[in-house]
Structure 1
Amino acid sequence: MIGKQKPVVLFVRQNLEALIEVRYTGIKKWAGKRFTKFVYAFAAVFRRHAMLVTVGEEMFQVLAPDFNSSRYISDAIVPKAFALPARKKRTPGVLKLLFVGRLEPEKGLPDLIHALKLINEKDQAQLTIIGEGISKIEAETLVRELEIGHKVDFKGYVAFGEQLFDAYASHDILMISSYSEGLPKIINESRAFAIPIVSTKVGGIANELKDGETCLFVNPGMPDQLAEAALRLSADMDLYALISKNLSLEFQKNSLEFWSEEFFQFVKNHFN
């Protein structure tokens, strides 16, 4: 970032201040927020030379005015060849819910586990949790306390590839219970595999998805809303099919090939 003659890219993945607000307390929270502000202010000094690239629109809207060359992109890593067609209905039987991500405090996993308990009071549902992180022990403890261990499958880390793709293909709804997000990879993975989404309305997700069209939005910290939305999607096959279809259509402009070309053209135009 120092050399003015060298290409400089400021890559911003998510709202760090929002992440710090959820993850830390006390002096760590204060120091983290101050440092984040410093980094953004320092980077703005080089606005005539730097290329700002953000994942999603949230931080693009915040930072773009300070840079002459800026672009937001989507975190797309699924090639077109792996995409599945839209779903017309969910698979019959037990409702299969899927969580994919780091097991960290900002992901709101306890809310999702409580929601699963509520769902099973009205219907039969199972939750598969893919990922590792510092919140795993807390999540496993809560599952035992709620006596729903037979309803939850902790898969641990699953690498990007066929095993992860199979998980998307074999589940009915992707559940996002986060308190803070940028624009996570799981959005485009959901598009690729046309799996309807229930998500909290936070961060870049709030700008990227549309309630009733590509997801059902709920408020963060509300397990009852997560449960109600999942049950609604399970019962309303027209809505389920609509969301799946719209996600599948959006994948055409969110594939690995599409965004690789967009980023290439952005860098090319910057130097021209």
Structure 2
Amino acid sequence: MPRTGPTADAAAAHSACIRRLTPERDERVRLYCFPFAGGTAASYRPLAKVLPEHVGLVAFQPPGRQDRLGEPPVTDLRSLVPEFATALLADLDDRNSRAYGLFGHSMGTILAYEVALELKRLGVEPPRLLTVSGRRAPHLPPEPGFQPYHLMSDDEFLTRVMSLGGIPPELAAYPDLLELVLPTLKADFAAVETYEWRPVAELDCPIAVFGGLDDLDSPPASLDPWAGLSTARTRVRTYPGGHFFLWDHAQDMFAHVAAGLSPAA
């Protein structure tokens, strides 16, 4: 894709949703992270400590949280894809190298996958690695007996989400804060639970798949089918833990990610 410089729309999208978490690094490749339900760009800041210095860390900030709190949250994940893809391309135009990878956990996995598809449609060089974490392959049906969280009452919804580890239990002691984050969190779950995979061309990039052995929403058996979504190699690794296993295993997990981002991977 020719480097023509970002358009005004691209620059605006970049400013709105891109957050650079390691601006001081002399990076050779950039890892773009997509947040989980209720998460923010800053949620991925701890990864700066486990990624090598040559990997830059960038995260996307969806509307409805932190400095975008004044914007309504979205309930359609696909509506975010053009904005995120445009912002990513504008961000790459700030660098001499276009080497990059994509990472998402849970809801972020769907966004990372859909942005990879959008970049392929635009004829952009594929990422060195698409890393998907804590999310069943998108073309699989839900687990038998699954009940959508976003249709539950607020009390039941919060109880279920806290059981996943998505929000700390001590947050329940602050009803005003809960009231502030609940609409965005529930919108995120609605976006995930109403997402429908569409048969499209396969990706051309390697996929690294990570999951928790005790994740009831995305059990290990639901991870292997990711291999059918790319013509390149897919590797699946699982760790002890539930839905948010990644925080307990970040050092090992992102050593694999960094290796996959290297030119020789």
* Structure number with larger C-alpha Rg: 1
Structure number with the higher helix fraction is 1
Normalised by the length of structure 2, the TM-score is 0.34
